[in-house]
Amino acid sequence: MDDRVFVVAAIIVVAGLLGGAAAYLTEPVVDQAAAEPRRRALYRSLLLGILAAACVPLFLSLVQSGLMASIFAPPATPPRPPAFEDYLIFTGLCVIAAISSRRFLDSVSRQILRQAERANERASQAELQSAAAAARVDRVEEAVERTAEVVDDQRAGPMPMAANANVVADAAKPYLSEGDRAVLQAMTKHTLRTATGIAEDAGIPKTRIGETLDILAERELIMPAISPTTRGKRWRLTPQGMAALETD
């Protein structure tokens, strides 16, 4: 193991003990007869001093200091002398942290909690941005497919929609709720639709559109499909769905 690890550990212990003893000596003496509580106070100060000194590397990392990186720098060519100046600075920081151990530990704890909260906020913002980007991609894909549909319609002529409706003209027409009708109506705008586009046109939350589409697919009013251009999942209106939509 690197000898510098033992040097840093020794500095933490010695500086923690010195700082803890200094903190104990600077505390006002309330009752000279209370020898046993004072002894416990000394032990507590020494222990807190070592703990505070051990948190100094974490504190240096939080403030983005390069002191520890300088102490543990890889061997150079030609070899450079030991970082005595860095060791002295580190020792002083450990002593100061040990003297004000309670306040120092509380400060480090608050900084860690603040950084954790910022990390959670950044993760939430990244998730929202990812969802927005996915929605934009869906809209772009729908626009590409819409253009392809227009070209196909111009080549093949008008689509005989009545022929599809006649397939199920005599079939029993299912009941449609307002939400079902809104989804089916949104799907008539284009041959293939994404779940995001359907949700936006139908006014249904995106968290519920998947369940609604699955139910309509089970009733054979819509069916899943694959985009011929992007190979993504799409939804298509079935003749049964068209007939159900035309009911009053």
Position 211: which residue type? E
Between 31 and 179, where is the model more confident?
179
Q: Are residues 165 and 93 in the same domain?
A: no
CATH number at residue 184: 1.10.10.10
Q: Distance of alpha carbon 95 from its chain centroid, rounded?
A: 38
Q: Rounded distance, CA 105 to CA 53, Å?
A: 9
CB hemisphere CA count around 142 (13 angstroms):
23
Average confidence (pLDDT) over 224-244? 83
Whether the pLDDT of residue 50 is over 70: the answer is yes
Q: Which of 82, 99, 116 is the last residue of a domain?
A: 99
Q: Both 92 and 165 in a single domain?
A: no
Mind listing the pLDDT tens digit for each residue in 83-142? 788 889 999 999 999 998 888 988 888 888 888 888 888 888 887 777 777 667 666 666
Residue 239, pLDDT score: 86
Distance CA 222, CA 212 (A): 11
**Contacts for 170-178 with beta carbons within 8 Å, 24 or more apart?**
171/240, 171/243, 173/243, 173/244, 173/247, 174/219, 174/221, 174/240, 174/244, 176/244, 176/245, 176/247
The secondary structure of residue 190, as a DSSP letter, is: S
Instruction: Quote the tokens at residue 166.
Output: 């006649």
Domain identity same for 167 and 241? yes
Tokens standing for 90?
């580190």
19-20-22 Cα angle (round to 5): 65
pTM over 0.75: no
Classify residue 127: in a domain, yes or no: no
Full strand arrangement of the beta sheet holding 222-226 = 192-193, 233-237, 222-226
Query: Are residues 87 and 164 both part of a single domain?
Result: no
pLDDT of residue 119: 83
Angle (CA) 193 198 204, round 5°: 165
Q: In Å, how far from its chain's centre is CA 35?
A: 54
149 domain residue, yes or no: no
Q: From 238, 247, 190, 239, select the one nearest 217 (Cα to Cα).
A: 238
The answer to the question of residue 137 being in a domain is: no
Which residues on neighbouring strands pair with residue 192, listed in sequence order? 236
SS3 readout for 146-159:
HHHHHHHHHHHCCC
Domain-embedded: residue 34: yes
**Mean pLDDT within 71-80:** 73
> Considering its fold, how many domains does the chain have in total?
2
Domain that holds residue 164: 160-245
Please tell me the distance from the alpha carbon of residue 164 to that of residue 237, in angstroms, as a whole number.
11
pLDDT tens sequence across 179-233: 888 888 888 888 888 888 888 888 888 888 888 888 888 888 888 888 777 777 8
Q: What is the pLDDT of residue 212?
A: 86
